[in-house]
């Protein structure tokens, strides 16, 4: 189970307690908490399968942490690379390969690209994208999301490769490509052993 802490220690502690109440104690739990809550929340560790860490600052950092955490349990590991319609995303390095080129993206650009490609054909609202990439709500004024979208269009040469990343008025952004590029559903990384 992966949990993300709340905005204050008391709420995070309540979240962890509720999760432990609902889920079997043998289910491994990784809880990501803000640095200022770490001491308070990590005191709730109940077993060898639980771990608490400070929230990572990027998707690639989170991906590396999850791989390390999951290596302690039987079952398949998340892939180091993901591919969508000719674009190969190297999860551990914020790098994208396509058409014989390799492009290094900033962590926020990479995280945004993964979010958009993972949800191909769906309109994603600004608030959702802000929360997914920058872990905070959109303030309604910042143009950082629009700037990152522009960088992705250019750096990944989306239109030239048959992809359209467009703004959806009053909502957010939508990435469309060929339907054959959609990634198949992934199997769960961990499942409890039969009792």
Cβ–Cβ under 8 Å, residues 12 and 41: yes
Cβ–Cβ under 8 Å, residues 30 and 64: no
Record the tokens describing residue 177, joined without a space: 């490509």
Q: What is the mean pLDDT of residues 174-180?
A: 74
139 or 189, greater pLDDT:
139
Q: What is the mean pLDDT of residues 167-184?
A: 73
Q: How high is the pLDDT of residue 190?
A: 38
Residue 169 pLDDT > 50: yes
pLDDT digits (tens, 9 = 90+) for 59-95: 667 777 776 777 777 776 666 788 888 899 988 788 9
Most confident of 3-12, 33-42, 161-170: 161-170
- What percent of the chain is modeled with pLDDT above 70? 80
* Predicted confidence band of residue 152 (pLDDT cuts 50, 70, 90): very high
Q: How high is the pLDDT of residue 3?
A: 73
Q: How high is the pLDDT of residue 47?
A: 63
Q: How high is the pLDDT of residue 60?
A: 66
């Amino acid at each position: 189970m992966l949990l993300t802490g709340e905005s204050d220690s008391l709420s995070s502690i309540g979240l962890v307690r509720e999760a432990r109440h609902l889920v079997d104690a043998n289910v491994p739990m990784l809880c990501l908490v803000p640095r200022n809550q770490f001491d308070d929340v990590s005191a709730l560790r109940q077993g060898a399968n639980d771990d608490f860490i400070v929230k990572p600052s990027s998707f690639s950092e989170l991906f590396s942490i999850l791989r390390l955490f999951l290596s302690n349990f039987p079952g398949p590991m998340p892939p180091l690379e993901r591919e969508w319609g000719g674009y190969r995303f190297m999860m551990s390095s914020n790098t994208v390969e396509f058409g014989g080129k390799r492009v290094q993206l900033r962590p926020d650009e990479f995280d945004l690209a993964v979010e958009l490609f993972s949800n191909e054909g769906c309109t994603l609202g600004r608030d959702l994208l802000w929360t997914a990439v920058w872990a905070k709500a959109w303030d309604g004024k910042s143009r950082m999301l629009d700037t990152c979208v522009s960088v992705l269009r250019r750096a990944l040469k989306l239109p030239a490769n048959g992809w359209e990343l467009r703004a959806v008025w009053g909502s957010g952004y939508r990435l469309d490509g060929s339907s054959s590029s959609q990634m198949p559903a992934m199997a769960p990384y961990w499942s409890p052993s039969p009792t």
